[in-house]
Amino acid sequence: MEVFEIVIALLLGGAGLAALARRFSTPYPALVAVAGAGLALIPHVPALVLDPGLALALFVAPVLLDAAFDASPRDIRANWRAVTGLALGAVVLTVLVVAIVTRVLVPGIPWAAAIALGAIVAPPDAAAATTVLKQLRPPHRLLVILEGESLFNDASALLIYRVAVGAVVTGFVSGWRLLPMIAS
């Protein structure tokens, strides 16, 4: 029951930070980052280990749903090259750079494990960037591209992660066996 109580406290803290951000006209993601760093520096804070399915349902799904609700399919279609370039290209590039740096720092780690690590850290939080940028009132096209990218970058990173973990577990990746994984 301790996990439930900690998650509720974190959600309430997030709501409080949102209220503070509106009151002081401060970007909400910046307050969340500062609060998270502050929590990490407090000694003897209990460690929280969440089931991945629970984390997906509580945190990732609502953010993606909100982004999908706000996104315009017509605008995303009009800017599909930039959206897919960021959602796929930037994520793949980040995965590769993290995997290479990981292999240099830890030479014994298998490539598949290094790629899985890269996939974990690859997707940028475009929803946070969009929130900050909305206060600056940038061109509409820039917001459309960032919102569209935030919808697809998590999916591309999760797919790369799934393939890499499969390669770590089985020892190989077969092209034909990837098709059902991509479709699901």
Q: Which two tokens stand for residue 6?
A: 């900690």
What pTM did the predictor assign? Answer: 0.64
Range with lowest mean pLDDT among 10-19, 20-29, 143-152: 143-152
- Tens digit of each residue's pLDDT (9 = 90 or more) over 103-149: 999 998 988 888 888 888 887 666 666 666 777 788 888 878 877 77
Say yes or no to pLDDT of 78 above 70: yes
69-94 mean pLDDT: 84
* Alpha helix segments (H runs only) across 42-137: 52-55, 61-70, 73-78, 80-84, 91-105, 111-121, 126-136
Q: Provide the pLDDT for residue 103.
A: 93
Question: How far apart are alpha carbons 68 and 135 in whole angstroms?
Answer: 20
Query: Could you read off the pLDDT of 46-64 as tens digits, one per residue?
Result: 777 777 777 777 777 777 7
Residue 138, both tokens: 């940038």
Specify whether the CB–CB gap between 143 and 74 falls below 8 A: no
In whole angstroms, give the CA distance from residue 4 to residue 24: 30
Which amino acid appears at position 181 of this protein?
A: M
What band does 101 get if pLDDT is binned at 50, 70 and 90?
A: very high
Residue 99 to residue 116: CA distance in whole angstroms: 8
Answer yes or no: are the C-beta atoms of 27 and 21 closer than 8 Å: yes
Is pLDDT at 179 greater than 60 in this prediction? no
> CA 94, CA 100: separation in Å to the nearest integer?
10
